[in-house]
């Protein structure tokens, strides 16, 4: 509701005021619902598509702050806004569409914010909540008046199976970012009668890679990009995850909960004081020269106290030490530096979540979608790595990635690196 309208309403009798408010709300809802009839033609999107269509348009009422009594989780207040959902049609009819959502606040501040995804994306970024790493009490961008938008990057499901289609892979790599941006601009123009004065991008991890990608590929579309923990060397990370997952899956290579606890304690013992403060955090992580050999079991019997067998030490090295991949002639075509330790390895969000999970990759490996991370208890990293090797690299959903030989795929890996990595 504009300031002029509000000032006018304050001078009205209560009965007429109620009628005016209802009329204003009705007009806002009508303008929102009218967007359902619009279509975005291919020329309005800079990269090749068959245009975009709106699948739903509805006015969402303002919502007050709430707190879940069971979890104490707070959902901050949201304003009234017009929720627009739609699809961008691919050129290749066998490729999936890009599903998107645009949120248009009734009280618009004249600016826009695109939000990135995570992992392999595959779920529409609603962009109605907080940005990554935002303070818990900071009002949501939508609440602050930003028109916000996001997409599913052009496929459904948080794995790499989409990559067998070339257009879907290109969309995930970078094209969906531009296509979603241009579509959102058309929607914003239709609702407000003008384009944003400023447009920003906000993302973390894969969303951070997306942010670095738009900054490099489409810099004129944005006035600022905010990223945290960007997965800039995306293909390298995924190959590294597969290396770790393969080591965990080999006989005797899996790391137990006791191993992880012992490892986390040893890291703090060796490196916590490197920054001069014993606080459970390795502040000087670059100076931590962790020696894993002290974790070796003193006997050959099965470890029960968290000590590491030689095979488990080899797994630890596969996770943390620098990795290189060579082609058939022995030349290195890909590398990844060592992982650093920081003191949080034994936390629930540390090694157990990202690397070991509850179980290693199964042998033999189930094909396709049967490789389900949650059902099988696989760590996030090995699952992502397995999916990357199967679909991004080999395009073979039945491939056993534990024994993956990268040499025959050196050219394909190099091509995928150029497509996905945001380090231009």
CA distance 143 to 145: 5
> Do 393 and 409 touch, CB atoms closer than 8 A?
yes
Task: Determine phi and psi for 348, rounding to 5 degrees.
Answer: -60, -30
Q: What is the pLDDT, as a whole number, of residue 17?
A: 47
Give SS3 for 180.
Answer: helix
- Cα 206 from Cα 17, distance rounded (Å): 49
pTM score of the predicted model: 0.90
3-state secondary structure of 117: coil
Q: Which domains does the chain have, with CATH numbers?
A: 25-66+73-231 (3.40.50), 235-420 (no CATH)
**Which is it for strands 198-204 and 111-115: parallel, antiparallel or unpaired?**
parallel
pLDDT tens-digit readout, 253-279: 999 999 999 999 999 999 999 888 989
Report, as an integer, the average pLDDT of 381-407.
Answer: 95
* Per-residue exposure over 216-234, b if at least 16 CB sit within 10 Å of its own CB, e if not: eebeebbeebbbeebbbbb
Q: Residue 5 pLDDT > 60, yes or no?
A: no
> pLDDT tens digit string along 181-195?
999 999 999 999 999
Dump pLDDT digits (tens) for 26-44. 789 999 999 999 999 999 9
Q: Give the other-Cβ count within 10 Å of 356's Cβ.
A: 26
Res 305: pLDDT:
76
- The Cα 79–Cα 99 span in angstroms is 23
Helix H or strand E segment including 55: strand 52-60
Q: Does 300 score more than 90 pLDDT?
A: no
Residue 67, pLDDT above cutoff 80: yes
130-to-144, 190, 307 alpha-carbon distances in Å: 11, 26, 42
CB 383 within 8 A of CB 371: yes
Give tens-digit pLDDT for 125-183.
999 999 888 988 999 999 999 999 999 999 999 999 999 999 999 999 999 999 999 99
Both tokens assigned to 355: 């690397």
């Amino acid at each position: 509701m504009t300031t002029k309208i509000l000032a006018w309403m304050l001078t009205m009798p209560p009965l007429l005021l109620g009628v005016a408010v209802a009329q204003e709300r009705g007009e806002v809802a009508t303008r929102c619902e009218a967007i359902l009839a619009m279509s975005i033609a291919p020329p309005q999107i800079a990269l090749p598509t068959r245009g975009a269509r709106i699948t739903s348009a509805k006015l969402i009422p303002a919502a007050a702050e709430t707190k879940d009594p069971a979890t104490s989780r707070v959902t901050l207040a949201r304003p009234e806004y017009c929720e627009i959902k739609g699809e961008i049609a691919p050129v290749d009819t066998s490729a999936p569409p890009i599903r998107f959502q645009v949120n248009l606040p009734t009280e618009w501040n004249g600016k826009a914010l695109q939000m990135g995804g995570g992992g392999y994306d595959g779920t529409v970024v609603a962009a109605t909540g907080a940005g990554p790493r935002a303070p818990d009490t900071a009002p949501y961008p939508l609440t602050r008046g930003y028109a916000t938008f996001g997409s599913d990057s052009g496929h459904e499901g948080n794995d790499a199976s989409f990559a067998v289609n070339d257009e879907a892979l290109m969309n995930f790599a970078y094209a969906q970012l531009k296509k979603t941006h241009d579509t959102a601009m058309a929607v914003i123009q239709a609702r407000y009668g003008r384009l944003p004065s400023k447009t920003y991008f906000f993302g973390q991890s894969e969303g951070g890679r997306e942010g670095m990608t738009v900054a490099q590929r489409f810099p004129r579309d944005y006035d600022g990009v905010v990223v945290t923990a960007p997965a800039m060397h995306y293909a390298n990370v995924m190959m590294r995850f597969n290396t770790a997952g393969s080591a965990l899956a080999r006989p005797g290579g899996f790391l137990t909960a006791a191993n992880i606890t012992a490892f986390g304690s040893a890291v703090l013992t060796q490196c916590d004081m490197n920054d001069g403060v014993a606080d459970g955090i390795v502040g000087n992580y670059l100076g931590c020269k962790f020696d894993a050999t002290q974790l070796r079991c003193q006997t050959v019997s099965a470890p029960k106290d968290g000590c590491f067998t030689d095979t488990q030490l080899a797994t630890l090295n596969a996770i943390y030490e620098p990795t290189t991949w060579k082609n058939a002639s022995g030349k290195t075509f890909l590398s990844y530096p060592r992982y650093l330790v920081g003191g949080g390895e034994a936390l629930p969000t540390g090694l157990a979540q990202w690397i070991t999970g509850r179980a290693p990759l199964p042998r033999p490996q189930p094909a396709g979608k049967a490789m389900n991370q949650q059902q099988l208890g696989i760590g996030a990293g090995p699952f992502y790595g397995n999916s990357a090797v199967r679909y991004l690299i080999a395009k073979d959903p039945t491939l056993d990635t534990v024994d993956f030989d990268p040499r025959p795929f050196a050219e394909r890996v190099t091509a995928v690196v150029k497509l996905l990595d945001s380090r231009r």
